[in-house]
Structure 1
Amino acid sequence: MSSVRQFQVTFDCADPERVARFWCEVLGYVAPSPKGFATWDDYHHSLPPGKRGAWFACSDPSGVGPRLFFQRVPEGKVAKNRVHLDVRVGTGLVGEERLATLKAECARLVALGAVCVQVLLADDENESCIVMQDVEGNEFCLD
Structure 2
Amino acid sequence: MARLHDVVFDCAHPASVARFWAAALDDYAVAPYDEAELARLRSLGIDSAEDDPTVLVEPASGGPRLWFQLVPEGKRGKNRVHLDLVAVDPEAEIRRLSALGATVRARYEDHVLLADPEDNEFCLVRD
TM-score, normalised by the number of residues in structure 2: 0.85
Q: Aligned partners of 1:69 and 1:45: how far apart in 2?
A: 20
Residue matched to 1:102: 90
Q: How big is the alpha-carbon RMSD for the aligned residues of Structure 1 and Structure 2?
A: 2.1
Does residue 112 of the first structure (1) align with residue 94 of the second (2)? Answer: no
Q: How does 1:37-56 map to 2 (within 5 A)?
A: 37-38=34-35, 44-49=41-46, 52-56=51-55
Q: Aligned partners of 1:40 and 1:114: how far apart in 2?
A: 30
Does residue 139 of the first structure (1) align with residue 121 of the second (2)? Answer: yes
Gaps of 5+ in 1: 91-100, 122-127
Q: For 2:13, which of 12, 15, 18 is the aligned residue?
A: 15
Gaps of 5+ in 2: none
| Fraction of identical pairs, as percent | 41
The structure with more radius of gyration: 1
Deviation at 1:42, TM superposition (A): 5.7
Deviation at 1:57, TM superposition (A): 0.5
Q: Structure 1: which amino acid aligns with 2:112? A: I
1:86–1:140 CA contact under 8 A, matched in 2: yes
Q: How does 1:73-112 map to 2 (within 5 A)?
A: 73-90=71-88, 101-112=89-100
The structure with the greater share of residues assigned to strand is: 2
Q: Which runs of 4+ in 1 moved over 3 A?
A: 38-46
Does residue 61 of the first structure (1) align with residue 60 of the second (2)? Answer: yes
1:33–1:43 CA contact under 8 A, matched in 2: no
TM-score, normalised by the number of residues in structure 1: 0.76
